[in-house]
Structure formats: structure tokens, C-alpha cells
Amino acid sequence: MPDQLIFAMEVFLNGLMAGVLYALVALGFVLIYKASGIFNYAQGVMALFAAMTLVGIMNGQVPFAHLINATFGTHIHKFGWNVPAFVAIILTMGVMVLLAWAVQRFVMRHLVGQEPIILFMATIGLAYFLEGVADLMWGSEIKTLDVGLPQGINLWIDETTFNIFGYGFFIDNLDLVATVIAALLVTALVAFSQYTKQGRAMRAVADDHQAALSVGISLNFIWIMVWSVAGFVALVAGIMWGTKSGVQFSLSLIALKALPVLMLGGFTSIPGAIVGGLIIGVGEKLFEFAIGPLVGGATENWFAYVLALIFLVFRPQGLFGEKIIERV
């Protein structure tokens, strides 16, 4: 087999893995969009916030240490203990539920019935707010996150492919773990929304707020639940990305990368988010591999958006989205 083809195959596989990570972020968007019709721009910052909180709790950092020190002239930074990863994850989840409650109580409740675009802009505001709070709470320096996930080259794949092609593929263990976790997460979410009482209630709310209210479903509860679930997805995505590339501001930019994923897959479809993520992941890696060197590289910055843009012109609802019907 020619070398170029083998390289392309490796790039393809790595693209699939990157796509899974995009899909993880996109999932959070889809959940909130389906349940409340809100396009939550803050999803990426929620992932950043979750990852920073997790690191902060694990290292026993004092929240708002910088602010407290600057105001009172003290020099506190750490409590002096380390929390095991598992406990820290549960505590962080608690913080995310609190956040969900706060968002619902102070923002979304007051914006019920507004146009989608107003809600979208409100979530941009929320994203700025959260980012500022996260930086104030835990400091803005780059942190490493290690919750004990395996990392580094997968030797088994390296060896097997070396025996077959005479060239060992580089696949990161972390990406494999991410794929498994993403698969589990999607299965769990689908099962949750199809087979549990709360999941059905969630779908009912998504279908028609008023009808759901009239059969006795509490909108408040459902929305807090949805934002909590989205917070959970953000936490998972935050852990994956944080482990991969460190917890830093650029984490919130992956949210922007998730947007074209959503547009390809359709805003309302969980399988769409997965397929869209894979297409974008593979597409941008292969494009960078094939065309990138010709035009100066770093095409990953824009390829996803342009692909989504071109795609949307031909199919505005995305691959799996519900058909858009407009009435006057």
C-alpha cells in the first residue's frame, strides 16, 4: 500500500477520534435546545467552568482567593488538602446543579416567551459572566487536569497496524476512552429520554410548553433538570478536553467548533450531533492533510464553518433535523 494512503488512513482515524470530542460538546447543545428551544452558547464555557472547578476542588484551592487577597491583604491560596478525583467529580456535579438552578431562577425564567435570538444573546452574556466568574474563582493560569484516565500512544494498535501495513498508527488512549464514554453517554441519554418518567416529561415540554403545563408537568423542574444534564455533559467534555490539552481559556472556544457540528447534524437530533461531529472531525483533518500544505496550513480554524455554511445552503435543517415549516 502506498505511504500516502496509509498516512491518510491514520489521519482519518484521528479525525474520527477528534470528532467524538466535538460531538460530546455538541450533545450538551442539543439537549438544551430540544427541551427549551434555547440555543445555549454558554455550553463551552460551562465545560471550562466545570473543568476549572474540578481542578480547583481536587487541588484544594480556595475559591476567589485572588479577590480575597486583593481586598483584605491576606495571602491564602490553598486549604492544604487534596480531594480524590471521584469525590471531586461528584462535588463538581453538585456545583453544576447549583449553576443550573441559578441560571433557571435568575435568567431563563425572566425570558420565557422571548424570541429565540434574544435567548441566544442572553446565553452569550451568560458565557461572558461564567468565564469571568470562573477566572475570579480559580485563577486564569493554565492548569493540568489528571483524573486518572489513560493517556499516550495505544501500543496494541501501534503493533497490530505495524504488522499489517508495516507502519504503526498513532492513536491516543485518551481518544479511545473518550469514544467509549461518548457511546455510553449517548446510550444513557437516549434511554433516559425514552424510558423514564422525567425523560418523557422533558420531551413533552420540548413539544409544547403549555400542553405540558396543563397535564401537570413542572416547567421549572424540567428546565433545572435539563440544565443540570447539560452541565453533566459539559463536565464530561471538560474532563476529556482538559486532560487532553490542559484547562485553559481555549476550552471555551471548542463550543464554537461545536456549532458547525450542530448545523450539519441538525439542532434537534442526538444521533445528528454524533454523525456531524464525526464528519467535521474527519473532514477537517483530511482537508488539512491534503490541501493544508498548499494554502499555508491551519485550515482547521475555518474548514468546519465553511463546510457547514455550504451544506446549509442546500439543506437548511441539517442532516437529521426536523423539517422547517414556516407559516405567516
Partner 1 sequence: MFYREAGDFKTSYTDDSQTFPIKFDRYRYYVVLAVAFGIIPFVINDYWANALLLPFLIYAIAAIGLNILVGYCGQVSLGTGGFMAVGAYACYKLMTSFPDVSMFIHVILAGGITAIVGVLFGLPSLRIKGFYLAVATLAAQFFLVWLFNRVPWFYNYSASGQINAPERDVFGIIITGPNAPAWATYLFCLIFLAVSALIARNLTRGTTGRTWMAIRDMDIAAEIIGVNPLKAKMSAFAVSSFFIGIAGALFFAVYLGAVEVGEVFGIQKSFLVLFMIIIGGLGSIFGSFAGAAFLVLLPVVLKVVGVDVLGWPTDIVAHLQLVIVGALIIMFLILEPHGLAQLWRVAKEKLRLWPFPH
Contact residues for partner 1, defined by CB under 8 A: 39, 66-67, 70-71, 107, 110-111, 114, 116-118, 120-122, 124-133, 135-136, 140, 256, 259-260, 262-263, 295-299, 301-302, 305-306, 308-309, 312-313, 316, 326-328
Is residue 23 within 8 A of residue 274, CB to CB? The reply is yes
Burial of 296 (0-12, 13-18, 19+ CB in 10 A): exposed
Q: How far apart are CA 98 and CA 94, in angstroms?
A: 6
| 15: Cα within 13 Å, side-chain hemisphere | 22
Least distance from partner 1 to the Cβ atom of residue 49, Å: 12
Least distance from partner 1 to the Cβ atom of residue 264, Å: 11
What's the sign of the alpha-carbon dihedral 119, 301, 245, 249?
negative
Least distance from partner 1 to the Cβ atom of residue 151, Å: 29
Smaller CB distance to partner 1: residue 129 or 192? Answer: 129
Smaller CB distance to partner 1: residue 169 or 267? Answer: 267
List CB contacts of 10: < 8 A, sequence separation 6 or more: 169, 170
Torsion of CA 180, 184, 187, 193, to 10 degrees: -140
Smaller CB distance to partner 1: residue 134 or 236? Answer: 134
Least distance from partner 1 to the Cβ atom of residue 177, Å: 29
Q: Which phi and psi (to 5°) does residue 78 adopt?
A: -130, 150
Smaller CB distance to partner 1: residue 142 or 256? Answer: 256
253: its cell numbers: 472556544
List CB contacts of 205: < 8 A, sequence separation 6 or more: 35, 36, 212, 217, 219, 222, 223
228: its cell numbers: 443540570
Least distance from partner 1 to the Cβ atom of residue 287, Å: 13
Smaller CB distance to partner 1: residue 215 or 325? Answer: 325
Smaller CB distance to partner 1: residue 221 or 311? Answer: 311
Instruction: Report H helices in the chain.
Output: 3-36, 43-58, 65-72, 85-106, 116-138, 155-165, 173-195, 197-207, 209-214, 219-245, 254-265, 270-290, 292-295, 300-314
Least distance from partner 1 to the Cβ atom of residue 133, Å: 6
Smaller CB distance to partner 1: residue 13 or 38? Answer: 38
Least distance from partner 1 to the Cβ atom of residue 283, Å: 14
